[in-house]
A = this chain, B = another copy of it.
């Protein structure tokens, strides 16, 4: 299959599928949370300490969205003090692969892109 044919997957239904997933994972923290949860279950504070810069509010929102989408499971243990564990679901794990593909692309092409930006900016400025 050529990339031309494959790119129809992106435009497909007017871009609904792509838009849907980018709305889900395109924000500032979601993919980082998913990647951080690729491994043993973590509790809230562990998650927060492993994701430098994320605020409580943003972590809460992000895991809630992921839970709603069925990509992360949230288990509350009825203890005092409370303990809540987060874990990727089977579906959530399947997201790792395409996400890594994207990260690979980013790592591979970043130098090139930054050079292009520098050229563009000096030429325009």
A interface with B by C-beta (< 8 Å): 3-4, 6-12, 14-15, 17-22, 24-28, 31-32, 34-36, 38-39, 51-53, 67-71, 91, 93-107, 109-110, 112-113, 115-117, 120-121
Query: Nearest residue in B to A105 (C-beta to C-beta)?
Result: B98
How far is it, in angstroms, between the C-alpha of A105 and the C-alpha of B110 when the chains are bound?
24
Q: A39 — which chain B residues lie within 8 A by C-beta?
A: 4, 7
Q: How many copies does the complex hold?
A: 2
Whether the Cβ atoms of B105 and A102 lie closer than 8 Å is no
Q: Which residue of B14, B17, B22 contacts A52 across the interface (Cβ within 8 Å)?
A: B14
How far is it, in angstroms, between the C-alpha of A109 and the C-alpha of B26 when the chains are bound?
16
Query: Nearest residue in B to A89 (C-beta to C-beta)?
Result: B116
